[in-house]
Amino acid sequence: MSDESIAARIENLVAEEHELRGREQADSGSSDRLEADQQRLRAVEVELDRCWDLLRQRRALRESGGDPDDAHVRDAGTVERYLQ
């Protein structure tokens, strides 16, 4: 996966995140739709974290003379436990 394809995935996820956040107000009348959107929003946030992590790995490998293709997608549990 190239940096460009990761960046494109990030852009798509950010757009979906914005759409979901925008729908929260409209969905407030339907608990089922609101819950579904909130679940999807959580999944999008995790996927964004995983994509950013992969992109950072690739950049770090490149900057240290390594092969960026050696970077790998980490599982959600690992990425979500990082300290900010």
Element (DSSP H or E) covering residue 73 = none
Contact between residue 16 and residue 44 where contact means Cβ atoms under 8 Å apart: yes
The pLDDT of residue 1: 84
Looking at the whole model, is its pTM more than 0.75?
yes
The pLDDT of residue 84: 62
| Domains in the chain, number | 1
- What span, in angstroms and rounded, lies between the C-alpha atoms of 81 and 12? 24
The pLDDT of residue 70: 96
Range of the domain at 60: 3-80
Number of Cβ within 10 Å of residue 5's Cβ equals 10
Closest by Cα among 8, 10, 4 to 53:
10
The pLDDT of residue 8: 97
Element (DSSP H or E) covering residue 74 = none
On the question of pLDDT at 47 being above 90, the answer is: yes
pLDDT band at 40 (very low <50, low <70, confident <90, very high): very high
